[in-house]
Amino acid sequence: MIRLSGVHKTYRTGQTSLEVLKGVDLEIGDGEFVSIIGRSGSGKTTLLNIIGGLDSDYTGKVEVEGRKLSEMSDRDLSRYRNRHIGFVFQSFHLLGHMTCLENVILPSLFNGGDGGLSEKQAQDRGLELLAQMDLADKAHARPIHLSGGQKQRIAIARALLHKPELLICDEPTGNLDRDSGDAILKLFSQLNERDGITLIIVTHDDIIAEAAARVVRIVEGNVVEDRRSEPNKNVDTSTSQREESA
Amino acid sequence: MSGLTQLIRKDLRHHRRHFILASIGIVVGIAAFAFFLALGSGVRSVVLGEIFPLDKLEVIPRSTDVDLGPLRVGMGKDTLNDEAAKKLGEIEHVTGVYPKMKLTVPSIAAGGKELFGNAMRTEMVADGIDPKLVAEDIDSKYAFAYFDDREATKACKTDADCGETMLYCGDPLPAHAMTADGATAGEDEPAAEVADAPKGKVCRHYVPVIASNHLVEIYNGTIRRAHSLPKLNPNFVLGLKFDLRVGASMVRASKRKKVITERGRLVGFSDRAISLGLTLPLGYVSRYNVLFDDPNAAKTFHSIIVDVDAKDNVAGVAKGVEDAGFDVADSGAEQAAMLIAVFMMVFGFVSIVIVGIAAINIMHVFFMLIYERQREIGIMRAVGASRANIRTIILGEAAVVGALAGVVGVGLSMLAAYGFDLVSAKYIPDFPYKPDTYFEFSPLLLATSVGFAIGFCVLGAVLPARRAAKLDPAVVLTGQ
Ligand SMILES: Nc1ncnc2c1ncn2[C@@H]1O[C@H](COP(=O)(O)OP(=O)(O)OP(=O)(O)O)[C@@H](O)[C@H]1O
Ligand SMILES: [Mg+2]
């Protein structure tokens, strides 16, 4: 369960300051598939960074599983990102000097030895994920030789290494063509339905937005719409849920 | 931790060009550092170990001259005698006290035909020392002791009749050598020999003589080349026999006394022998001085060698000596040590400055790399690297770069030292104390050099590492 209440974020550059989030209240339950939409500059990425523990410079309260992120040390926050969250970015963010497999197991290098994956376990898990992404043959290739869709699947494999509960995706299909985008979307649906992973996806892509059970619209730093729709299922429950959470 | 190690390894491999460039300065600085310090300590061990051994002091009578500017007023001297020796022996950390006496009688050494081709004659400067002082330097074949030959009576025809290495078949001691007041006639050398016409030969002891290693060094390094004489190997010279004419002089005729002719034999080399001259057992010098000079000479020493248990205690003993009313002869060791220390400090400092400047270069390179790797660092942060992890990675990289640079630098300096020694052996003519190697790379020096390299690299990387740790992953990943 993720709970944001009264989250304000202001960017200050020199003399000017820009209030990007203006008191966001949002609750996301375990296993939800949420897409966040909104105009460019409305604060979507900013919101994701705060939820993902990449940005600690805000006011308001962000709670994950009952723990306040703002009260966590850098070490704990890093561990939270490492074990509980997977990030997927629009521009993939793979490391060019490492092979695909090395990229996938990168998070295992930071698990500080306590209860994380051993080197061998990480390798096995990485290969398993690559196979799952249909990229087993690319394990020892460099990302530069891969297509956009393949790169994004490597990035997703990396995000899944520690079997996180939450996947945070910032325009994951933004740099992909339709077909690759569809493949990624299918993957996401599968992860959400089969594995119960909570998905928060920022997107401009209507198809993704429609696939999500819940759509949150942000306008100028405010949540202006929080709509639940279960495309082929019951619409009523989602509406009532929306009211509960509002 | 092993995860970070893997990362460091990959990063180093990936950015190796940058790191190699960045570490050149460190390599050069450390090479210079190791080179000069090794040179300094090599020279130091030659100078202080062989030329001026530091574990002994030479005590001389206190000169009570009162220094009144240009007017120096001599006030006489305290004498060194057995009582003084006893007093010195009681100073803490003194392990041995060995009186030394100068031969005050003009004398000539002659011989060496088998060595030099021609018989040589030279004015002899000689010291007498307590044989115990050099016991360990004497070859077991020979003996270094005072032999009283006044009673020598065993008749012989050749050396073989006498049997022992320290005996030869020669003329008995002349009558005037028997007593202290000896002869008073003012004859010259030849006359003396006539006066001591043989009464039949007897087995006599050679006067055992030792020389200093300095003498051989100086001979081989300079005199030999000036006169194109053969190079001396100390082992080869050992056992050399020669004539010793006490009371004879090449420059002036002996005052009033008759000459005593003895056979001398070189029985060893020792650092405790006087540098330029021969060293005899104290008994001989004392007897000659009494015979030719002064009846009181037997009781006064010119100096007393004091053995100190450890180099570190030399200063303390020197103070004790002065407190006891004596002076310490200036051996030059202190100045030499000071000179070498200054040399090492200056070059060590210059090298460290080079390394320091190199560290600034390292800092620049790391700042640049961190700027280049912002995204990489952001990614690592996103997947779970803490600030401390990032810092560790950067500092770890610096440490590895430093260690490699240090090892390469030390390797280079050893190579340079080896080359230097090679050139020296081949092209630099012999000089006294010319060593096989001028360098001494102690394990401590090696460790210190590599340690410095690591230290300075890490130091150079501290600020960049801090900046890297502070990078805001949200900013670098979303590219705003
Ligand atoms: N580090 C920053 N410093 C200053 N201003 C920033 C910073 N990051 C974002 N902003 C500003 O905050 C606002 C919101 O940015 P944000 O990236 O959250 O928008 P977004 O909704 O993700 O937009 P897009 O759809 O273009 O990705 C924008 O006006 C942006 O210029
Ligand atoms: Mg954005």
CATH number of the domain at A77, please. Answer: 3.40.50.300
pLDDT at B142: 85
Neighbours of B345 (CB within 10 A): 13
pLDDT at B53: 66
Residue A102 falls inside a structural domain:
no
Alpha-carbon distances, residue B68 vs B40, B61, B63, B74, B329 (angstroms): 40, 20, 14, 11, 22
SS3 B204: strand
Residue A151 falls inside a structural domain:
no
According to DSSP, residue A140 is labeled: T
The atom number, within ligand 1, closest to the CA of A48 reads 18
Contact call for A49 and B3, based on CB within 8 A: no
Residues 357-376 of B with CB under 8 A from A: 375-376
B398-412 pLDDT, tens digit each: 999 999 999 999 999
The average pLDDT across B235-246 equals 84
Distance CA B144, CA B130 (A): 10
The atom number, within ligand 1, closest to the CA of A221 reads 14
Distance CA A80, CA B164 (A): 94
Q: Across A163-172, A203-212, B177-186, B279-288, which has the greatest mean pLDDT?
A: A163-172
Between A102, A107, A113, which is nearest B383 by CB? A107
Between B6, B375, B477, which is nearest A109 by CB? B6
Average pLDDT, chain B: 82
B276 has a chain A CB within 8 A of its CB: no
Per CB-CB distance under 8 Å, the chain A contacts of B378 are 93
For strands B326-328 and B56-61, give the pairing.
antiparallel
pLDDT at A215: 95
Residue type, B75: M
Please give the distance, rounded to the nearest whole angstrom, from the Cα atom of residue A81 to the centre of ligand 1: 21
Please give the distance, rounded to the nearest whole angstrom, from the Cα atom of residue A44 to the centre of ligand 2: 6
Between A49, A91, A158, which is nearest B383 by CB? A158
B10 has a chain A CB within 8 A of its CB: yes
Distance CA B297, CA B99 (A): 13
Closest CA to A158 of A231, A65, A97, A88: A88
> How many CB pairs (< 8 A) connect A and B?
75
SS3 A156: helix
pLDDT at B323: 84
Is A219 touching ligand 1 by the criterion CB < 6 Å?
Answer: no
Backbone φ/ψ region at B269: left (φ over 0), alpha (ψ -120 to 50), beta: beta
Q: How far is A42 from chain B (nearest CA, A)?
A: 14
B115 has a chain A CB within 8 A of its CB: no
Is A13 touching ligand 1 by the criterion CB < 6 Å?
Answer: yes
Task: Indicate the top mutation candidate among A15, A20, A201, A208 to test ligand 1's pocket, ranked by most ligand atoms within 8 A of CB.
Answer: A20
Residue A188 in contact with residue A199, Cβ under 8 Å? Answer: yes
B403 has a chain A CB within 8 A of its CB: no
CA-only gyration radius of chain A, Å:
18
Position B121 confidence tier, pLDDT thresholds 50, 70, 90: confident
pLDDT at B181: 43
According to DSSP, residue B221 is labeled: I
- Number of helices and strands in chain A (H, E): 8, 10
A107 has a chain B CB within 8 A of its CB: yes
Residue B190 pLDDT greater than 60, yes or no: no
Residue B304 in contact with residue B84, Cβ under 8 Å? Answer: yes
pLDDT at B134: 83
Position B251 confidence tier, pLDDT thresholds 50, 70, 90: low
Q: Across A116-130, B257-271, B292-306, B430-444, which has the greatest mean pLDDT?
A: A116-130
pLDDT at B156: 85
Distance CA B53, CA B47 (A): 8
Q: How far is A234 from chain B (nearest CA, A)?
A: 37
Domain range holding A187? Answer: 2-94+165-245
Residue A113 falls inside a structural domain:
no
Kindly list the strands in the beta sheet with B126-129, ordered across the sheet, starting from the edge strand earlier in the chain.
B120-124, B107-111, B241-246, B260-269, B207-211, B278-281, B126-129, B94-102, B303-308, B56-61, B326-328
- Choose between B319 and B188: higher pLDDT: B319
Task: Compute φ and ψ for B467, nearest 5 degrees.
Answer: -65, -40
Distance CA B183, CA B252 (A): 19
pLDDT at A152: 96
SS3 B83: helix
pLDDT at B70: 52
Distance CA B174, CA B172 (A): 6
Give strand pairing partners of A33.
A199
Position B201 confidence tier, pLDDT thresholds 50, 70, 90: confident
Per CB-CB distance under 8 Å, the chain A contacts of B10 are 97-98, 102
The average pLDDT across B77-91 equals 79
Residue B68 pLDDT greater than 70, yes or no: no
Is A20 touching ligand 1 by the criterion CB < 6 Å?
Answer: yes
B386 has a chain A CB within 8 A of its CB: yes
Of all protein residues, the one whose alpha carbon is nearest to atom 8 of ligand 1 is B480
Residues, chain B: 480
Neighbours of A228 (CB within 10 A): 22
Exposure class string for B41-73: b at 16+ Cβ within 10 A, else e: bbbbebbbeebbebbbbbbbbeeeeeeeeeeee
Q: What is the pLDDT along chain A (246 residues), one digit of tens a residue?
A: 999 999 999 999 889 999 999 999 999 999 999 999 999 999 999 999 999 999 999 999 999 988 999 999 999 999 999 999 999 999 999 999 999 999 999 999 997 656 788 889 999 999 999 999 999 999 999 999 999 999 999 999 999 999 999 999 999 999 999 999 999 999 999 999 999 999 999 998 888 888 999 999 999 999 999 998 765 444 343 333 444 443
pLDDT at B65: 54
- Choose between B448 and B87: higher pLDDT: B448
Residue A75 falls inside a structural domain:
yes
Nearest-Cα residue of chain A relative to residue B14: A97
Place of tokens 């050396």: B159
